[in-house]
Amino acid sequence: MGIHYQRMHRDLKIAGYAKSTQANYLLCAKHFVAHYMRSPEALGEEDIRNFLEHLQETKASGAAGIKMHLAAIKFLYTTTLKRPEEVVGIRWPKVPRRLPVIVSREETLQLLQAVDCVKYRAVLMTTYGAGLRIKEACSLQVADVDSKRRLLHVRLGKGGRDRYVMLAESLVAFLREYWRAERPCGPYLFPGDSPPGVVSAESVRAALRKAAAVVGITKRVTPHTLRHAFATHLLEGGCDLRIIQVLLGHGSIRTTTRYTHVSTHLIGSVVSPVDAAFGAPAGGGATR
């Protein structure tokens, strides 16, 4: 892409996109240009449509990947090349909305207890106890912990938004235990092996996968699974959905409502209209 790569990179930084998003958009734009081996200035709407169709037909990328490519191309043409007419008529692909994997409270306890490294367990307990994204948990600073007010300050979460989340008493107790054992130096609560960096998110993921294997949980478990569990367990405990939205840092309530679809406890407690019409069997026993 040459000069266009540099200009797009600059535009992404000016627009305030996260570094990971910048990298993904630039990679997708390079993929698009490499497909034709021509400058993006020499390409137009029909070329973009053919490229997206190529991705779909070759299954080189799933629906989410195609959407990412389109987002990158839209940014390239709208912002960097200032030719929005080339992409304005291209609609976003539909991405299947799969329900997240949820672990029960008992499974969550087993997982956390099976993590043998105190630092990794502290990160994962914070992820579950406060509903954080893994990068948010790894990036916490000592000054972000307000044990008196029982609050955690999450800085620059997704979308560049700060927020406060609750700090459970049991989490405070474990963090104090972790502090006595590790005595972390510097501003970060969970420093990495090479100061002044933070603990590696991938190392935390690996520790959780190992714990899942130890306790025999066959579900695909990641730190984000613990964030899903946090939201679902709060919902099952009667917490208001809008409070959960704020705690998770969701920009839209629509993102939070998916937890109403995965809470088997809530689904199982709903009274079917057939029972309301005909009455449940005496004793509520199952048909044999």
Catalytic residues: 133, 158, 224, 227, 250, 259
d(CA 50, CA 206): 40
Question: What number of other Cβ atoms are within 10 A of residue 182's Cβ?
Answer: 15
Cα angle for residues 193, 109, 222 (degrees, 5° grid): 55
Residues 6+ apart with CB under 8 A from 272: none
Neighbours of 184 (CB within 10 A): 17
Round to whole Å and give the CA distance between 106 and 146: 28
- Pairing relationship of beta strands 163-166 and 151-154 according to DSSP bridges: antiparallel
Question: Which residue is associated with the tokens 């008529």?
Answer: 89
Taking Cα atoms as reference points, which of 232, 175, 259, 254 lies closest to residue 184? 175
